[in-house]
C-alpha cells in the first residue's frame, strides 16, 4: 500500500520527505518543533511573528522593554501614529531567532520561515524587508510568504545575494491570488519554488471570507494544478488545511501535488510552544468548541477554540511595547474597538466584544487558534488514568504521517508507569 514515504518533494536540487510542518505564530512552531521536522528529513517552519518578543523570552534580550520605554509617553494616547519599530533592533531580533535555530540544524530536511505580510508593524514594507533580510543573512533554507498577496515582497529582497538560491514559496487560497504573485515574480524573473494551497479547514488566519465553508481544498487544488500545467510552470503544489492522516496526503500527491503542509496534529507535541495546559484543551476540544470569527485585529477571519481566554477580554492596547498589527498609518482595529467600548457603572472597562488585542494575547498564548480537525486530536493519543491526554512527540506524529495506511493513526507507546498499570 502506498504511503507518503513513497514520495519525495524536489525543490531545485534538494530533495525532502513530502511533509512540511506549517509555521505557527507566535512561537507555537518553535525552533525545537521545526528542527525536529528538519532532522527527520521534512521541512519545518519558524514563524517571523513577534521575533523581538520571542528573542526576549528565549535569549534574555530587551527589545520589548527598550521599545516600551521609548514610547512610554504615549501609553494613554489614543493616537498611535508615532509608534514605530527600530529597524536595527528588529533586524537583530529576527537574526537572533533565526541564527539560534540554524546553528542547531541537523539532518537532511529544510529549515524554513513563515513570513506574514499582515504583520504590518507600523511600517509594512520596511519591517517586512528587514525581517526577510535578517532571515536570509542568517542562512534560512526557505521563506514561505503568508497572510497576504505579497505583490511587492520579492522586490524587497531582489538585490540580496541569496535571492535566487533560497527557496521561496507562497501560501494562497485561490488560483487568483497565485496568479497575482506569479505576475510579480515574472517581472523579476524569479518564480516561486512552491505554492502552498491552503483550504478553509486550516488553523490561524483564513484566506477566505464569511463564505469559507463553501470552499473545498479538494476542488481548489485541481484548479491550481491545471493552471500550473497550462502555463507550463514547474512549481511544486503543496496542499494544506485538514490533512489529518498520511493517507489524506497520499490522495493529494496522487492528484499531482508534491508534498503536504500540516500543522494541527503537531500542536499537541512536546516540542510545540503552547503551554501544556493549553495542549490539553486542544486534545479535549469537541467539534462545537471550534469557531471561525472576525475577532483578529488583522481583519482576517481566524479559527480558534471558543473558550480562548482572549475572547471578550479588555486589555488596554499594547502598541507601545508590542504594536505588531499597527498599519503604516498607525491604526489598529483593536485600538478602535477598545476605545469604542464603554465602562460599567463602576467605571471599569466593559469586555471588548468586536476584536482581540492579538499582540498581547498571542504573546500570552491566550488565543487558541487551531485547525478544524482539532476535535480529532483525542483520537491520536492515549487517555491517561488521571484524565489527561498523553503528549506526543514530533517524531511520532511525523512518522505516523509518513507510514500511515488506510487512514490509520498509530497511538504512541504508553509511558512506562501507565503501561505497567494497563
Ligand X SMILES: Cc1cc2nc3c(=O)[nH]c(=O)nc-3n(C[C@H](O)[C@H](O)[C@H](O)COP(=O)(O)O)c2cc1C
Residue 161, all three cell numbers: 545575494
When the beta carbons of 237 and 262 are compared against ligand X, the nearer one is 262
Q: How far is the CB of 47 from ligand X (least distance, A)?
A: 5
Residue 301, all three cell numbers: 477571519
What's the CA angle centered on 343, arms 338 and 346, to 5 degrees?
150
The answer to whether the CB of 267 falls within 8 A of the CB of 374 is yes
Q: How far is the CB of 20 from ligand X (least distance, A)?
A: 8
Burial state string for 60-70 with b = 16 or more CB within 10 A and e = fewer than 16:
ebebbeebbeb
Q: How far is the CB of 129 from ligand X (least distance, A)?
A: 19
| Sequence-ordered list of residues with C-beta below 8 angstroms from that of 249, at least 6 positions apart, any chain | 4, 18, 19, 243, 260, 262, 401
SS3 335: helix
When the beta carbons of 148 and 323 are compared against ligand X, the nearer one is 148
Q: How far is the CB of 22 from ligand X (least distance, A)?
A: 2
Question: What strands, in cross-sheet order, belong to the sheet with 290-293?
Answer: 204-205, 302-305, 290-293
How many C-beta neighbours within 10 Å does residue 205 have?
Answer: 23
When the beta carbons of 25 and 323 are compared against ligand X, the nearer one is 25
Q: Which of 195, 104, 92 is nearest to 149 (CA)?
A: 195
Q: Can you give the binding site for ligand X, defined by CB under 6 A?
A: 22-25, 28, 47, 49, 114, 116, 146-147, 171, 198, 201-204, 240-243, 261-264, 267, 369-371, 373
Q: What is the DSSP letter of 414?
A: P
The answer to whether the CB of 236 falls within 8 A of the CB of 10 is yes
Query: What is the C-alpha separation between 274 and 92, in angstroms, rounded?
Result: 25
The answer to whether the CB of 286 falls within 8 A of the CB of 266 is no
Q: How far is the CB of 113 from ligand X (least distance, A)?
A: 11
Q: How far is the CB of 274 from ligand X (least distance, A)?
A: 7
When the beta carbons of 123 and 202 are compared against ligand X, the nearer one is 202
The answer to whether the CB of 321 falls within 8 A of the CB of 67 is yes
* β-pair partners for 356: 296
When the beta carbons of 243 and 402 are compared against ligand X, the nearer one is 243
Burial state string for 340-377 with b = 16 or more CB within 10 A and e = fewer than 16:
eeeeeeeeeeeebeebbbbbbbbbebbbbbbbbbbbbb
When the beta carbons of 21 and 157 are compared against ligand X, the nearer one is 21
When the beta carbons of 26 and 320 are compared against ligand X, the nearer one is 26
When the beta carbons of 249 and 320 are compared against ligand X, the nearer one is 249
Query: What is the C-alpha separation between 40 and 192, in angstroms, rounded?
Result: 24
When the beta carbons of 24 and 359 are compared against ligand X, the nearer one is 24
Q: How far is the CB of 244 from ligand X (least distance, A)?
A: 7
Q: How far is the CB of 198 from ligand X (least distance, A)?
A: 5
When the beta carbons of 146 and 320 are compared against ligand X, the nearer one is 146
Q: Before 26, cis peptide (omega within 30)?
A: yes
Q: How far is the CB of 23 from ligand X (least distance, A)?
A: 5
The answer to whether the CB of 47 falls within 8 A of the CB of 25 is yes
Q: How far is the CB of 282 from ligand X (least distance, A)?
A: 8
Q: Which of 398, 367, 394 is nearest to 31 (CA)?
A: 394
Amino acid at each position: 500500500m502506498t504511503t507518503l514515504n513513497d514520495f519525495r518533494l524536489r525543490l531545485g536540487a534538494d530533495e525532502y520527505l513530502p511533509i512540511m510542518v506549517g509555521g505557527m505564530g507566535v512561537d507555537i512552531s518553535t525552533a525545537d518543533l521545526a528542527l525536529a521536522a528538519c532532522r527527520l528529513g521534512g521541512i519545518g517552519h519558524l514563524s517571523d511573528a513577534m521575533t523581538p518578543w520571542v528573542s526576549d523570552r528565549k535569549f534574555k534580550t530587551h527589545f520589548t522593554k527598550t521599545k516600551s520605554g521609548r514610547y512610554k509617553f504615549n501609553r494613554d494616547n489614543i493616537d498611535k501614529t508615532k509608534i514605530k519599530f527600530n529597524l536595527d533592533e528588529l533586524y537583530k531580533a529576527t537574526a537572533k531567532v533565526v541564527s539560534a535555530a540554524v546553528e542547531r540544524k541537523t539532518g537532511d530536511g529544510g529549515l524554513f520561515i513563515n513570513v506574514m505580510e499582515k504583520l504590518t508593524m507600523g511600517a509594512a514594507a520596511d519591517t517586512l524587508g528587514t525581517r526577510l533580510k535578517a532571515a536570509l543573512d542568517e542562512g534560512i533554507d526557505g521563506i514561505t510568504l503568508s497572510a497576504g498577496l505579497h505583490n511587492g515582497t520579492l522586490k524587497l529582497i531582489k538585490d540580496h545575494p541569496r535571492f535566487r538560491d533560497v527557496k521561496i514559496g507562497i501560501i494562497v487560497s485561490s488560483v487568483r491570488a497565485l496568479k497575482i504573485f506569479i505576475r510579480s515574480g515574472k517581472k523579476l524573473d524569479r518564480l516561486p519554488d512552491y505554492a502552498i494551497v491552503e483550504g478553509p479547514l486550516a488553523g490561524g488566519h483564513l484566506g477566505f471570507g464569511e463564505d469559507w465553508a463553501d470552499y473545498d481544498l479538494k476542488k481548489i487544488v485541481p484548479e491550481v494544478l491545471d493552471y500550473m500545467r497550462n502555463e507550463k510552470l514547474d512549481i511544486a503544489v503543496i496542499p494544506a488545511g485538514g490533512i489529518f492522516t498520511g493517507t489524506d496526503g497520499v490522495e493529494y500527491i496522487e492528484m499531482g501535488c508534491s508534498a503536504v503542509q500540516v500543522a494541527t496534529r503537531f500542536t499537541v507535541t512536546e516540542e510545540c510552544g503552547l503551554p501544556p495546559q493549553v495542549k490539553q484543551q486542544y486534545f479535549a476540544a469537541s467539534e462545537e468548541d471550534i469557531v471561525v470569527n472576525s475577532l483578529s485585529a488583522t481583519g482576517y477571519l481566524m479559527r480558534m477554540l471558543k473558550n480562548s481566554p482572549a475572547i471578550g477580554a479588555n486589555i488596554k492596547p499594547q502598541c507601545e511595547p508590542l504594536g505588531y498589527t499597527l498599519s503604516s498609518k498607525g491604526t489598529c482595529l483593536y485600538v478602535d474597538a477598545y476605545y469604542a467600548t464603554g465602562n460599567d457603572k463602576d467605571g471599569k472597562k466593559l469586555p471588548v466584544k468586536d476584536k482581540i488585542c492579538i499582540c498581547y494575547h498571542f504573546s500570552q498564548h491566550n488565543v487558541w487558534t487551531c485547525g478544524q480537525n482539532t476535535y480529532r486530536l483525542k483520537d491520536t493519543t492515549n487517555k491517561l488514568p488521571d484524565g489527561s491526554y498523553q503528549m506526543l512527540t514530533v517524531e511520532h506524529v511525523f512518522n505516523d504521517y509518513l507510514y500511515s495506511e488506510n487512514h490509520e493513526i498509530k497511538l504512541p507507546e504508553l509511558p512506562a508507569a501507565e503501561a505497567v498499570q494497563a
